[in-house]
Amino acid sequence: MHFAGNSHDFWMLPRCGKRLKQSNFFRISMRNIFLITLICAFGLVACTSGGGGGGAAKPGKGGISLGGVFRMNEVEDFRDLYPLNITEVVGHRITNQIYEGLLKYSQNELEIIPSIAESWEVNEDATKFTFHLRQGVKFHDNDCFEGGKGREVTAEDFKKCFTLLCTSHPQNQGFWVFKSRVIGADAYYQSTIDGIPLAEGVTGVKVIDKYTLQIDLEYSFAGFLQILCTPFTWVFPVEALETYGIDMRVNCVGTGPFEVQTIKEGEAVLLSKYEDYWRVDEHGNDIPYLDRIKITFLKEKKSELLEFKKGNLDMVFELPIEMIDEVMGELADATTSASFEVQVTPALALHYYGFQHKSDLFNNELVRKAFNYAIDRESIVTYTLQGEGRPAVYGIVPPAFKNYDYESIEGYDFDADKARSLFAEAGYPNGNNFPKLTLQLNSGGSRNVQIAEVIQKQLKETLNIDIELNVMPWAQHLDNLETGKALFWRTGWIADYPDPENFLNLLYSPHIPAKLSDKSYINSVRYASAEFDSLFARGLREVDEGKRLELYKQADQVAMDDAAIMPIYYYEHYRLLQLNVRNFSINPMEYRDLSQVYFAGVEEKVKKTEAKKPRKRPSKK
């Protein structure tokens, strides 16, 4: 999904107090392990002795502490909290605590685990998926229900939600997850466009009984379970949609561990423990452990860090570029003065610039290639980002998947002569006759602007063209790029699920709507290539992992040969935690499940500090 890109996202980390380890999906950057040592050593954030955890916690069973308020901040506002219209990470981080689907990911390892479905079966060729729902799961109490009391979730609720997922509506951005995959999905979607919805609904979604749901696919697709972990497949009551309509963007009715207490847009969102939640841990403690979650919306990272320093936030998500210099300027041992924990990992995320392929300007492949060769990604990462990232000189898929041969993909290195030659061939020698171009980017932090200013300068120096920057709020930025109003823009993509397919899907042409003004959430650049589509479609249907990844790699190369987008860098992500935070390990998608997060007592916090080991500075590849 789209993300604002001003903050570092984090991936796959150790449990609290343990040493960083390599995840199953990703390769840890050793240089950043050294950075962790430095940050802790310098006391970048000198927390108060109490440090984090608003509200008192009480002892639970098995050494778990219960209660307290977990406080975190977002520098961007959310756009929408309605499951079918969640297309950016801020909305997802909030609603992942409120809604649930059939399946979910584990916080630690991103493994698919049961949620409302307590078990499931998949047939031999991965075309039939049968789910058995647990009994007694209830929606949150809400005025949309008779008497205000939440009712039990049944298979029929999932059938209705999946029908809405396959309905043409401006508030539905999720159809792509079922499109051309689930039997009957395309036919039903078209019938809603025609204004005569098919009475039978989506034929591939079947209610077997009150607690059994079956989904039939058009073709073998082993990755379908990953799809069922996305927000678009969460369950909600149709009563809520009938009551609130489009105002479901802030009226959330789910089954998750937390429910909405208050929402003040641009200021704060307060979630409270759902007292009738179905889960209990192995010790007999009710889940969630926390009483509340508070999300604030301070727009400046320095203000956010100051609040963390005061002990008013329990987590900080990113380190501003201007602070990295300060940290890297000294050497010290982190073991004696660490007052917080730092988590870091390579990310399944890409920072890139989009071209509108339906425009006369960027429909020219030579122009797109010239732009790509004109950018010095190495210098951007080294100097602008202070080394926090990796130059995107390969493909669209980040170099983090264990078995994906990203190094064999030829992307774009800086080559000023080649850029100028291609630009001249395109009809713009020395930039002559090239129109003044606007680069659109989102507000909410300095990182995006700093990178854009460097790229603006590099394009001027190499191609002799003028680029104007247009910074706007995140929601407006997304709307412009999705509806074809922007020609050239900054964006980022963080994986919805850990599979290369989720990145390549951004360039699959069947996602392009008929009209330029229609929203194109997936494939916003509107790139169309028969060769790419053929390779990608074959990969989707391939059940052998090795063959599937090879097809994806070939598709990735086709997209790079066409200069479909302008990749800038692959992310690496950082997170600061107060020392008393437990059970909140980092993972490759900055997937946040706070249901089993808790605050340790003072004695445990001291033990955690003492457990930290000095680390030698490792070399970087």
pLDDT in tens, 149-183: 999 999 999 999 999 999 999 999 999 999 999 99
Distances (CA, A) of 167 to 82, 205, 496: 15, 14, 21
Higher pLDDT, 25 or 384: 384
The whole-number pLDDT of residue 607 equals 55
Q: Do 88 and 71 share a domain, yes or no?
A: no
- Tell whether 381 is covered by a domain: yes
Residue 258 contacts residue 142 (beta carbons within 8 Å): no
Confidence label for 323 from pLDDT (cuts 50, 70 and 90)? low
The whole-number pLDDT of residue 614 equals 39
Q: What is the CATH number of the domain that holds 495?
A: 3.10.105.10
- Tell whether 227 is covered by a domain: yes
Q: Do 563 and 446 share a domain, yes or no?
A: yes
**Cα 48 from Cα 446, distance rounded (Å):** 28
Note the pLDDT tens digit of each residue in 381-405.
Answer: 999 988 888 999 999 999 988 889 9
**Cα 279 from Cα 257, distance rounded (Å):** 8
Cβ-Cβ contacts under 8 Å for 139 (sequence gap 6 or more): 145, 150, 151, 153, 236, 237, 253, 254, 255
Average pLDDT rounded to a whole number, residues 430-443: 95
**Cα 446 from Cα 452, distance rounded (Å):** 10
Cβ-Cβ contacts under 8 Å for 591 (sequence gap 6 or more): 96, 105, 107, 110
- Tell whether 395 is covered by a domain: yes
Q: Do 416 and 492 share a domain, yes or no?
A: yes
Q: Do 382 and 459 share a domain, yes or no?
A: yes
Is 363 strand, coil or helix?
A: coil
Q: Do 68 and 89 share a domain, yes or no?
A: no
Question: Where a domain ends, among 237, 260, 283?
Answer: 260
- Pairing state between β 315-317 and 566-578: antiparallel
Ranked by mean pLDDT, the top range of 38-47, 100-109, 399-408 is: 100-109
Average pLDDT rounded to a whole number, residues 196-201: 96
Residue 510 has pLDDT above 50, yes or no: yes
Residue 610 has pLDDT above 60, yes or no: no
Residues listed for the chain: 621
Residue 98 has pLDDT above 90, yes or no: yes
- Tell whether 107 is covered by a domain: yes
The whole-number pLDDT of residue 54 equals 64
The whole-number pLDDT of residue 341 equals 87
Q: What is the DSSP string of 428-476?
A: -GGGTTPPPEEEEEE-SSHHHHHHHHHHHHHHHHHH---EEEEEE-HHH
Amino acid sitting at position 195: G
How many CB atoms lie under 10 A from the CB of residue 246?
Answer: 14
Is 616 strand, coil or helix?
A: coil
- Tell whether 153 is covered by a domain: yes
- Tell whether 321 is covered by a domain: yes
The whole-number pLDDT of residue 306 equals 87
Sheet holding 128-133, edge to edge: 117-122, 128-133, 212-216, 205-209
| Nearest in space to 400 (alpha carbons), one of 348, 358, 477 | 348
| Nearest in space to 101 (alpha carbons), one of 276, 260, 255 | 255
Q: Do 239 and 303 share a domain, yes or no?
A: no
**Cα 366 from Cα 372, distance rounded (Å):** 10
The whole-number pLDDT of residue 91 equals 96
Q: Do 45 and 180 share a domain, yes or no?
A: no
Average pLDDT rounded to a whole number, residues 431-446: 90
Higher pLDDT, 333 or 138: 138
Q: Do 164 and 208 share a domain, yes or no?
A: yes
> Angle 530-541/545-561 helices, nearest 10 degrees?
160
- Tell whether 338 is covered by a domain: no
What percent of the chain shows pLDDT beyond 70?
Answer: 85
Q: Do 70 and 88 share a domain, yes or no?
A: no
Note the pLDDT tens digit of each residue in 440-469.
Answer: 999 866 788 999 999 999 999 999 999 999
The whole-number pLDDT of residue 35 equals 42
**Cα 463 from Cα 433, distance rounded (Å):** 12
Q: Do 107 and 220 share a domain, yes or no?
A: yes
| Nearest in space to 374 (alpha carbons), one of 454, 492, 449 | 454
Average pLDDT rounded to a whole number, residues 225-239: 97
Q: What is the CATH number of the domain that holds 163?
A: 3.90.76.10
- Tell whether 282 is covered by a domain: no
Residue 55 has pLDDT above 70, yes or no: no
Q: Do 372 and 412 share a domain, yes or no?
A: yes
Q: Do 424 and 514 share a domain, yes or no?
A: yes
Residue 613 has pLDDT above 60, yes or no: no
Lowest-pLDDT choice from 5-14, 312-321, 541-550: 5-14
Print the domain residue range for 249: 83-260
**Cα 257 from Cα 551, distance rounded (Å):** 40
What percent of the chain shows pLDDT beyond 90?
Answer: 72
Long-range own/partner contacts, residues 433-436 (CB < 8 A, 24 or more apart): 434/463, 434/465, 435/361, 436/466, 436/467, 436/468
Average pLDDT rounded to a whole number, residues 201-217: 98
The structural domain count of the chain equals 3
Higher pLDDT, 8 or 58: 58
What does pLDDT average to over the chain?
87
Amino acid sitting at position 554: Q
Lowest-pLDDT choice from 105-119, 465-479, 601-615: 601-615
Confidence label for 52 from pLDDT (cuts 50, 70 and 90)? low
Alpha helices in 233-376 (DSSP H): 238-244, 301-309, 321-328, 365-373
Buried-exposed string 578-602: b where 16+ CB fall within 10 A, e elsewhere: bbbbbbbbbbbbbbbbbbbbbbbee
Residue 120 has pLDDT above 60, yes or no: yes
Residue 189 has pLDDT above 60, yes or no: yes
Confidence label for 602 from pLDDT (cuts 50, 70 and 90)? low
Lowest-pLDDT choice from 90-94, 230-234, 318-322: 318-322
Lowest-pLDDT choice from 3-17, 247-261, 350-364: 3-17
Q: What is the DSSP string of 235-247?
A: ---HHHHHHHGGG
- Pairing state between β 598-599 and 390-391: unpaired
**Cα 380 from Cα 39, distance rounded (Å):** 22
Is 215 strand, coil or helix?
A: strand
The whole-number pLDDT of residue 57 equals 76
